[in-house]
Structures are given as C-alpha cells and as structure tokens.
C-alpha cells in the first residue's frame, strides 16, 4: 500500500468507560512522545501502559473487560509499529508500508514486531525459569550435562573446517567435510531422552525454539518435531530444529498451484469428458454420502433413507434448516466435556464416536455436509445420467455441473489436506552452523524419505477425529505425505529456501525430477500474530460471558483457524473493525515442496498411490545422501569465504560461555510510570 492505513478506534463502550479509554490512550500518547525514539523505548512504554491498567483485571465486569480489550488492542498495535494519534475525542492508529521501502527495512520492521511478543514471553517467570534450568549443569543418566552440552564449540569446528580447505582434491576434501559435520535426524516423541546427555528431547527442542524471532506457541492438530544432530562431535550437538504441523486449509496461492481452486481443479477434471471421469465423480460423491452418520436424522424425521439416493430440493432445505438449528444449540451449549472425554484419537469405541456424532456440533456439520452432497447429487442426476461421449462433452460445459464439481473438490480438499500434506512451521539452523548455511541443510533434509516414512508410521493407525465424528464409527485414513508447504517470515524470500533445487537422481531418486522449494507467490498478509496472549485471554473471557453463546469454543472440528475466528468475534463484539485489524500487512512468500511426482493427482483424489521422488527403501541413506549434497553444493563453497570461519570460531563454550545458540533473556522493565491522574 502506498498510503498509511488509518483505523479510527471507537469501541462500543458505556460513556464512563469510553471516557476512561480516551484518558488512558491520551496518557499513552504522551508517554510515547516522551520516550526515546528507539525500539527499547517503545517497548518500555508499552509495558508501562499495560501495567497502568492491569489492576482492572481484578473481578472485572463485562464492561470493564471490554475496556481492557480495547486498551490491549491499542498496546498490541503500537508494539507492532503502528503510530498513535489522539485528540480529546478520537483515537487513530496508522500503519504505513510503501512500495519504495527496501526489503531490508521491511524485514527489520517485521522482525522487531515479532521480537516484542517473543521478549514478552521470555519475561514470563515460568519461561525464564525453564531457560535457566536448561542452562544449569545437572546429573543425568549420562553424567553432568546442560543444554550447553548440545552446542558445537565454534573454535573446534572452525579449526577442523580450516584443515579441510587445505585439501586440494575435491573428492577427498568433501569426504573430510563429511567427517567434520555428519548430520542425522532425530524425531522428538513424548518421553524421549537424548542418548548422549540424558536430557529430555522435547525440552531440548523447546529451548532452542526460544532462540527464534517469533514467540513459541503450540499448534493444534498433527505435529512432528525434529532435531538435526551432528554425530561428528561429542554429545552429537544440535545443528538445527524443525517442525511440521497440520497444513492450513485456506491458502489461495497454494491452492491455485495444486489445482484445488474452483477454476484450476474443475478444468483439470472436466478436461476429459469420458465415462471414466463421470464414473469417478459419481464414486467420489456416493462414497462421501455413505460416510455420513444419519441414524439420528432418520429417527427425527429430518430425512428418510431413500432420499440419500433420490434426494429432492425439499430434502436439501430440511437439512440446511436442521443444521442451522443445531449450530445455534452448540453455541448455547458447546458440550465441551463430550468433545474432550477420552480425547486421544485411536482409543475411542464406535459407541463413543456415535455419541460425538450426535453432539450439536457434529449434527450441524453432518446436516450441512449432507445438504451440500445431496445438492451435488441433484445436479449430477440432471447432467451425468447419459454417459455417451457427446452428452458428456455437452454436460461438462454446463456452468451448473462445473459449480457442483467445484463443491465436490472442496470436500476432497478438506480430506486430503489433513492427511497428504503438512506445513513447515519451524525450520532453521543454530549457531555456529547457521553461518555455514545450515538452514539450507535443515530445509533439504525435511524432504528425506525418513520424514515421509515417520509420518506414515506415526499417523498410519490414528483415527481421524472429524471423519470419525461425522461417520459415527472409527475412520482411519492412510497418510501419504506428498507435499510440504511453508511461508517466509518476512516479505522477501527466505535465504534458507532460495535456490534449493536438488536433482533427485543425485540423492537416490527418480531421474528427471527434482526437490525444489518452489516460490508460488505472496500471501495476503492476514492473520493474528500481532495480538498478544493477554489480548487473546481477555477475548476468551469476554466471549464466555456473552448471553447468546459463542461461535468459537476452541473445540476441534468447529472450523479452520479457531484463534483467528475467536479474535474476530471478540473485536466485533466491542465494535472494532476486525477486518482491518486482522490485516497486518506482512505479505509473506509462499513456498511449495513436492515430495511425489504425482502430488497433484493424489491431492485431487484422482490417484491414491504416490510416486515419491526419493526411494523409500533405505530412508536413513536418503538423509545421508541429501546431507552429502549439501556438503558439496553449499558447505564446500562457503568455508573459504573471508570471515566465515572467524565468525564460526566466536561461538565458544569456554567460560564465560558466549554462544549464538544460547537464549538471551531480555532485561526486566523498570521504567517509571508517566501516568498522572486526570482531574477533568
């Protein structure tokens, strides 16, 4: 955007509370004007501002909660770089980003905004105690160790790499590099312990995650945490960390590339007007209709069984009406105990799945999905009854049929996105490996057959929570990881993903194919990262007190991105413009990484068996081959550069320890209050 985005903050508050809102914010504006024009100055001002109204948290009324939420939103946005303008009766927040801004400037602005939240988290007593506890030497089953035992000494590494540069023979030099840095993958599982140090693997991963620019948050859904270790040094230090999480359902740039969007996917499928295509469409539709639990709907007269094969317009209307009634009941009575009881998927009986299916939430979902499916059935009956080539060619040009196929594709997508792809949510190298382009190593080994096989093993027997609740019986879907997605943190390309193109045959894969982090486009800059945990907590409390029930109850199955929907609902409740406030403007680069040659066909549901790019026979060998490629392609070219090994050597484990992989705890804020009593 070329001009500043200005938002006028006029929360829906009682007159006295609105007066208090303006008083607090005017004082905040005075504080900002008096504070040093530095990031630290703004951060201290924000912390002091929050401290001044934190006393309102004690036994607050709904009105006080609304005031608190309004003030926290102002604090959040100022902390993220928004400008604050006030008069006696107006509050305006503005954020400007111009096309003329350099990439470095934009990156630094976004980085600073993330660091505000990250540092706030590190100041939390429990987090700081965890960090200090990990850095303290303790007696484990493997001797005396701390997290420092898992950091590579930079001086030793630099010396060994320097000796490698003195070898003139390329093959011999690369072999020496392989003996200096020997990467392997370690998957973090509950209760897992490091064989070298006796430290808990999840604690190791969590500690190093706190060195990231962004705050550490757990994510719902499927999750895989990975340590990349180095067996070439004592204790097998950590090269980097990574995490895969459930893929976001809505990502327009990615969906267009895959063919999940209405135009691309429909065009792909309807480009072949053959009886086989028509049969596939009917099979996909009938399979989904048969998968929906309908016993209670039949018992209550919402539908009769013959309507599942001979639906009418009235059938669809009744289902939609019942779905709306059920979702309203869910908002009034969310039945959280039912959804959380025995919640470990895989341990539930069919009777338990039926109880969940009959819940208000899943009754509503079943009615809505069944209404959509039977609506598609009506159109298929009209256009796909005659399967002669001529009739199909004409039918496939029908806008009604194209719309119905688009609806069916969205349902296919909802199924495949959960079992055939994941998002890279954490990926990067630690010091001193980051100086050696270790981020490209971590990015590359995520494409290893070890990852696809671990995913298949871990989730191969897991019952699908949503599918099982929709079917009223245990549903296990075979997972096949064929695609990874991710985004850059900033609005410019991520250096660790750029130029990663590995000919698959060089690492034991299919000739003529390649592993590549493909840049797909930019996201729209929409999200919730710029809202603090305090703001989210207040929204949760305020929504819980509303009389008409909550649209978002943080129950898995309510819909995509419950956090963002909860924030939207809270902002709307107090009259703030949620669409504008959720548009943070940080447009990120979207990447896609295909792991199978036929990933599109698998994700569209046209094919079931993936043709993986890399051989699945010896997964650990695949990781080693990718690591060897990294050593030849990037490490060998990196270490002769001036200053690189000197930078590596600065990471010392000699006391006092000065190492880039350490978590740096921010100093506590002791800035004096600049508030005064308003006597007007």
Tell me, what DSSP letter sits at residue 631? I
pLDDT for the residue 680 = 28
Q: Inform me whether the pLDDT recorded for 560 exceeds 70.
A: no
pLDDT for the residue 464 = 85
Contact 43, 90 (CB under 8 A): no
End-to-end CA distance of the chain: 40
Give residue for tokens 């963002």.
564
Q: Quick one: which H or E segment has residue 322?
A: helix 313-332
pLDDT digits (tens, 9 = 90+) for 255-272: 889 988 767 778 878 888
Q: Classify 569 as helix, strand or coil.
A: helix
Compute CA distances 302 → 298, 334, 376, whole Å: 6, 22, 19
Q: Tell me the pLDDT band of 196, cut-offs 50, 70 and 90.
A: very high
pLDDT for the residue 614 = 96
CA-based nearest residue to 149, from 132, 134, 164? 134
State the average pLDDT over residues 12-28: 91
How do the residues of the chain divide into helix, strand and coil, expressed in percent and rounded to 5?
A: 50, 10, 35
DSSP per position, 509-525: B-TT-EEE-EEEEE---
pLDDT digits (tens, 9 = 90+) for 407-439: 998 888 888 888 999 999 999 999 999 999 999
Q: How confident is the prediction for the chain on average, in pLDDT?
A: 86
What are the φ and ψ backbone dihedral angles of 544, each rounded to 5 degrees? -65, -20
Who's near 665: CB < 8 A, 6+ residues apart?
A: 122, 123, 128, 131, 132
Contact 328, 549 (CB under 8 A): yes
Q: Answer whether the bond into residue 130 is a cis peptide, omega within 30°.
A: no
Query: Mean pLDDT: which of 388-402, 510-524, 612-626 is highest?
Result: 612-626
Query: Mean pLDDT: which of 399-413, 436-450, 547-561 is highest?
Result: 436-450
Q: Quick one: which H or E segment has residue 5?
A: strand 5-8
Compute CA distances 163 → 166, 177, 352, whole Å: 5, 10, 64
Contact 359, 338 (CB under 8 A): yes
State the average pLDDT over residues 144-170: 96
pLDDT digits (tens, 9 = 90+) for 79-119: 877 889 998 888 998 875 443 444 444 566 666 666 767 88
Pairwise pLDDT comparison (78 vs 674), residue with the higher score: 78
CA distance 199 to 347: 30
| Burial (CB count <10 Å: 0-12, 13-18, 19+), residue 14 | exposed
Within 427-582, residue ranges assigned H as helices are 438-445, 449-459, 465-471, 533-544, 562-573, 578-582
């Amino acid at each position: 955007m070329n001009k500043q985005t200005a938002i006028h903050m006029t929360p829906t508050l009682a007159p006295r509370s609105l007066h208090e809102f303006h008083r607090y914010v005017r004082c905040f504006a005075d504080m900002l004007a008096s504070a040093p024009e530095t990031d630290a100055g703004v951060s201290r001002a924000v912390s002091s501002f929050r401290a001044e109204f934190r006393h309102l948290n004690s036994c607050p009324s709904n009105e006080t909660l609304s005031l608190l939420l309004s003030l926290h939103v102002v604090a959040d946005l100022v902390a993220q770089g928004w400008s604050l303008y006030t008069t006696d009766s107006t509050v305006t927040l503005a954020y400007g980003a111009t096309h003329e801004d350099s990439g470095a400037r934009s990156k630094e602005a976004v980085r600073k905004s993330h660091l505000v939240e990250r540092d706030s988290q590190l100041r939390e007593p429990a987090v700081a105690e965890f960090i200090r506890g990990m850095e303290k030497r303790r007696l484990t089953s493997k001797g005396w160790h701390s997290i420092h035992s898992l950091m590579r000494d930079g001086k030793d590494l630099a010396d060994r790499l320097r000796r490698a540069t003195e070898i003139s023979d390329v093959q011999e030099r690369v072999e020496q590099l392989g003996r200096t840095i020997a990467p392997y993958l370690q998957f973090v599982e509950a209760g897992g312990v490091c064989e070298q140090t006796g430290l808990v693997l999840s604690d190791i991963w969590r500690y190093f995650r706190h060195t990231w620019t962004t705050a550490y948050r757990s994510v719902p859904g499927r999750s895989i945490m990975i340590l990349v270790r180095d067996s070439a040094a004592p204790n097998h230090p950590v090269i980097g960390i990574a995490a895969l999480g459930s893929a976001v359902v809505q990502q327009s740039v990615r969906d267009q590339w895959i063919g999940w969007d209405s135009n691309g996917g429909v065009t792909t499928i309807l480009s072949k007007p053959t009886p086989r295509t028509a049969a596939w469409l009917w099979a996909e539709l009938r399979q989904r209709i048969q998968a929906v639990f309908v016993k209670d709907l039949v018992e209550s007269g919402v539908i009769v069984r013959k309507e599942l094969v001979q639906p009418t317009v009235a059938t669809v209307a009744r289902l939609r009406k019942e779905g709306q009634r059920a979702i309203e009941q869910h908002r009034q009575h969310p039945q959280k105990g039912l959804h959380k009881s025995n919640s470990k998927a895989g341990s539930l009986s069919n009777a338990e799945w039926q109880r969940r299916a009959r819940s208000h939430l899943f009754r509503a979902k079943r009615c809505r999905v069944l209404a959509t499916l039977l609506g598609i059935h009506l159109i298929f009956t009209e256009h796909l009854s005659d399967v002669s080539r001529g009739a199909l060619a004409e039918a496939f040009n029908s806008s009604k049929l194209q719309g119905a196929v688009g609806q069916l594709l969205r349902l296919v997508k909802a199924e495949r996105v959960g079992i055939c792809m994941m998002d890279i949510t954490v990926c990067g190298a630690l010091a001193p490996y980051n100086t050696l382009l270790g981020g490209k190593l971590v990015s590359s080994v995520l494409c290893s057959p070890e990852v696809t096989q671990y995913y298949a093993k871990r989730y191969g027997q897991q019952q699908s929570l949503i599918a099982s609740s929709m079917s009223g019986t245990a549903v296990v879907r075979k997972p096949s990881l064929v695609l990874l997605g991710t985004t850059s943190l900033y609005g410019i390309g991520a250096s660790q993903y750029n130029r990663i193109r590995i000919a698959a045959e060089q690492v034991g894969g299919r000739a003529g194919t390649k592993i590549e982090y493909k840049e797909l486009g930019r996201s729209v800059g929409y999200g919730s990262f710029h809202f603090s945990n305090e703001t989210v907590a207040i929204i949760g409390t305020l929504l819980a007190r509303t009389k008409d029930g909550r649209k978002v109850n943080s129950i898995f199955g309510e819909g995509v991105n419950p956090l963002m929907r909860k924030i939207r609902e809270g902002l709307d409740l107090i009259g703030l413009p949620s669409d504008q406030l959720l548009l943070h403007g940080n447009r990120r680069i979207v990447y896609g990484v295909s792991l199978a040659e036929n990933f599109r066909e698998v994700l569209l549901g046209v094919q079931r068996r993936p043709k993986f790019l890399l051989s699945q026979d010896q997964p650990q060998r695949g990781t080693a081959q990718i690591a060897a490629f990294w050593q030849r392609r990037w490490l060998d070219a990196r270490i002769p550069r001036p200053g690189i090994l000197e930078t590596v050597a600065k990471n010392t484990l000699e006391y006092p320890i000065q190492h880039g992989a350490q978590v740096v705890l921010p100093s506590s804020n002791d800035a004096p209050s600049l508030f005064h009593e308003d006597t007007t």
